[in-house]
């Protein structure tokens, strides 16, 4: 806002919300604008004053954000309904070979070969390394055959996908490289550090995050082995989401917590808490459920569980809010909200609305410039590969690939 930071103008905005019955917004506005409103003895504003004050409002678009260029993935080029025949929970793409890994509630992980035109080889390899469904999949950034899976059974498993089983050996059980059993409940996310894969981080509903590091004493092995460096927590709530800023900085988002937790992995696991509330108070009106960092590391996008669909763009490492978005508003508390950045940083994709679509959001303006439709049930996972495109999967048992408009549907 312009001079719009005056208490009188804040009172006018509040009066407008009250006059039009936006009572939930009223309560949120009162909390966040408290320091301005407390200076007024009365919140009553005349109609003429209301019109005059609201006319002063000028939204200032952040200068560091750039206008969209119209170059984003928007056309469905592949639709696979025969990889799994049950609800799909997780999707990942190996960054070098572009292999597609998927998991479903049948406890399997399947790897399919994906071509850059969006087609896939459905003669996959299937794995069953867990006793319960797999909730997340990630690949080592430089070793194409090293895959990390985490499960509802409380374990995390490293898999050598190049392993060839002996005659008579159960193919679905083959290739286990390491098993980690440090969590007591669901392990909802597991990630390699993005540049070298030196670290692994896993987040669990036991309110802890485990950080593993390459065990240098095992240097002769063809694939690295990892050891537990530290178990962080317990946090105030379930560890819901994690992301790496770079190879040495991890960010943790926790349920029922208004802070993002930055962990410096190279400096004795030093922690810094960043308050997500613009006013600096400790009121918890939303929780982070999906966080990720832009490709240049300068911005952190945080999707929250607020029913307004609020997603906040922070300057990485600070509490400064660059932009707020309201995407996929829903009262459905069971909705799984996910987002993924477009590589340019000019857009991001967001799912979790009642219509099971994927919104393409322009980062600078917050405009939903496209809606990708085709899923018939809740989307559970989104991932993006610059060669393959945007990949989505969910409870309609399908995996869909979205690419540039010039491409055509293959299956």
Per-residue pLDDT in tens (0 to 9) along the chain, 411 residues: 434 446 667 777 777 776 666 666 767 777 666 666 665 545 566 666 655 655 555 445 557 899 999 999 999 999 999 899 999 999 999 999 999 999 999 999 999 986 555 555 555 789 999 999 999 999 999 999 999 999 999 999 999 999 877 665 677 788 999 999 999 999 999 999 999 999 999 999 999 999 999 998 876 578 999 999 999 999 999 999 999 999 999 999 999 999 999 999 999 999 999 999 988 889 999 999 999 999 999 999 999 999 999 999 999 999 999 999 999 999 998 999 999 999 999 999 999 999 999 999 999 999 999 999 999 999 999 999 999 999 999 999 999 999 986 544 333
| Per-residue confidence (pLDDT) for residue 4, from 0 to 100 | 42
pTM (two decimals): 0.84
Helix (H) or strand (E) holding 389: strand 389-394
If one counts every other C-beta atom within 10 angstroms of the C-beta of residue 56, the result is 14
If one counts every other C-beta atom within 10 angstroms of the C-beta of residue 386, the result is 14
Task: Enumerate the domain spans of the chain.
Answer: 7-56, 75-403
| Per-residue confidence (pLDDT) for residue 174, from 0 to 100 | 85
Strand partners, 241: 253
Reply yes or no: is the peptide bond before residue 346 cis, omega within 30 of 0. Answer: no
- CB of 91 within 8 A of CB of 83? no
Instruction: Spell out the SS3 assignment of 142-193.
Output: CCCCEEEEEECCCCEEEEECCCCCCCCCCHHHCCEEEEECCCCCCEEEEEEC
Backbone angles phi, psi at 52, to 5 degrees: -65, -45
Spatial distance between the Cα atoms of 301 and 292, rounded to a whole number of angstroms: 5
Of residues 374, 370, 390, the one with CA closest to residue 382? 390
Spatial distance between the Cα atoms of 360 and 354, rounded to a whole number of angstroms: 16
Who's near 118: CB < 8 A, 6+ residues apart?
Answer: 77, 78, 388, 389, 401, 403, 407, 410
CATH placement of domain 75-403: 2.130.10.10
Of residues 125, 178, 128, 122, the one with CA closest to residue 148? 178
**What distance separates the 2 farthest-apart alpha carbons in the chain?**
84
Instruction: Spell out the SS3 assignment of 123-139.
Output: EEEEECCCCCCEEEEEE
Distances (CA, A) of 100 to 182, 347, 392, 397: 28, 23, 11, 15
């Amino acid at each position: 806002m312009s001079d719009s930071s005056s208490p009188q103008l804040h009172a006018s905005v509040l009066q407008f919300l009250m006059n039009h019955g936006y009572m939930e917004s009223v309560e949120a506005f009162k909390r966040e604008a408290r320091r301005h409103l407390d200076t007024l003895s009365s919140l009553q504003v005349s109609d003429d004053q209301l019109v005059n004050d609201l006319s002063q409002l000028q939204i200032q678009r952040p200068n560091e954000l750039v206008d969209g260029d119209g170059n984003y993935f928007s056309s469905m080029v592949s639709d696979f309904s025969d990889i799994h025949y049950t609800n799909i929970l997780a999707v990942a793409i190996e960054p070098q070979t572009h292999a597609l890994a998927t998991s479903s509630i049948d406890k399997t992980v399947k790897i399919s070969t994906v071509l850059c035109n969006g087609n896939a080889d459905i003669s996959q390899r299937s794995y069953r390394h867990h006793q319960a469904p797999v909730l997340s999949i990630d690949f080592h950034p430089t070793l194409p055959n090293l895959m990390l899976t985490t499960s509802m059974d409380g374990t995390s498993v490293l898999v050598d996908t190049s392993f060839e089983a002996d005659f008579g050996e159960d193919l679905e059980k083959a290739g286990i490289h390491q098993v980690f059993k440090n969590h007591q409940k669901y392990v909802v996310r597991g990630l390699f550090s993005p540049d070298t894969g030196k670290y692994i981080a896993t987040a669990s509903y036991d309110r802890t995050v485990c950080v593993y590091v390459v065990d240098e004493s095992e240097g002769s092995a063809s694939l690295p082995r990892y050891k537990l460096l530290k178990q962080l927590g317990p946090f105030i709530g379930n560890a819901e989401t994690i992301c790496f800023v770079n190879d040495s900085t991890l960010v943790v988002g926790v349920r029922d917590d208004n802070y993002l937790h930055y962990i410096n992995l190279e400096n004795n696991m030093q922690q810094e808490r960043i308050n997500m509330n613009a006013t600096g108070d400790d009121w918890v009106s939303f929780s982070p459920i999906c966080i990720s960092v832009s490709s240049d590391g300068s911005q952190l996008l945080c999707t929250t569980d607020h029913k307004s669909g609020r997603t906040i763009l922070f300057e990485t490492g600070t509490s400064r809010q660059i932009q707020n978005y309201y995407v996929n508003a829903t009262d459905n508390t069971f909705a799984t909200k996910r987002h993924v950045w477009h590589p340019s940083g000019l857009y991001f994709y967001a799912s979790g609305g009642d219509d099971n679509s994927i919104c393409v959001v322009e980062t600078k303006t917050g405009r939903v410039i496209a809606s990708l439709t085709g899923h018939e049930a809740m989307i559970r996972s989104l991932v993006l590969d610059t060669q393959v495109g945007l990949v989505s999967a969910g409870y309609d048992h399908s995996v869909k690939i979205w690419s540039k408009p010039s491409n055509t549907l293959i299956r």
